[in-house]
Amino acid sequence: MARAAARLGLRDDPHWPGGLDAPIRAGAENLSGGQRVRIAVARLLLRPGLAFCDEPTAKLDPVNAARVRQALWEASRTRLVIVATHDPALAALADRRVNLGDAPAERQAA
């Protein structure tokens, strides 16, 4: 657990004093969206099996986005990782890409 947290910058996050020992309030209300994403990716690294990720780098600064990209790429060497993303650097790491393109005009007006 400590290694996964360190890989994703959770042990030394200056905005999360206490790191892994910091209390997390109900609903994780004291965590930022980026911290929540990095915790989710760390948990993914600790479990075997299929991984589905929806925009895993969207709420991250460049350094933490790079950490998440690297972690997901490494995870993909031993399991199937499916990612929905607008991050071209993350998409470039994929063995296969499916571009869904633009939605038809009648669906965009939601």
Tens digits of per-residue pLDDT, 3-42? 888 888 888 777 777 777 778 888 888 888 888 899 899 9
- Residues 6 or more apart from 105 whose CB is under 8 A from it? none
Which pTM value belongs to this model?
A: 0.80
Q: What is the pLDDT of residue 76?
A: 94
Q: In the chain, at which residue ranges do the beta strands (DSSP E only) sit?
A: 51-54, 81-84
At residue 79, φ and ψ (nearest 5 deg) are -160, 165
Q: What is the pLDDT of residue 22?
A: 78
Q: What is the pLDDT of residue 35?
A: 87
Per domain, the residue ranges of the chain are 2-108
DSSP 81: E
Closest C-alpha to 67, from 5, 20, 2 = 5
User: What number is the average pLDDT over the span 84-100?
Assistant: 93
At residue 5, φ and ψ (nearest 5 deg) are -65, -40
Q: Is the pLDDT of residue 43 over 60?
A: yes
Q: Is the pLDDT of residue 104 over 70?
A: no
Q: Under CATH, what is the fold of the domain 2-108?
A: Rossmann fold (3.40.50)
- CA 47/CA 43 separation, integer angstroms: 7
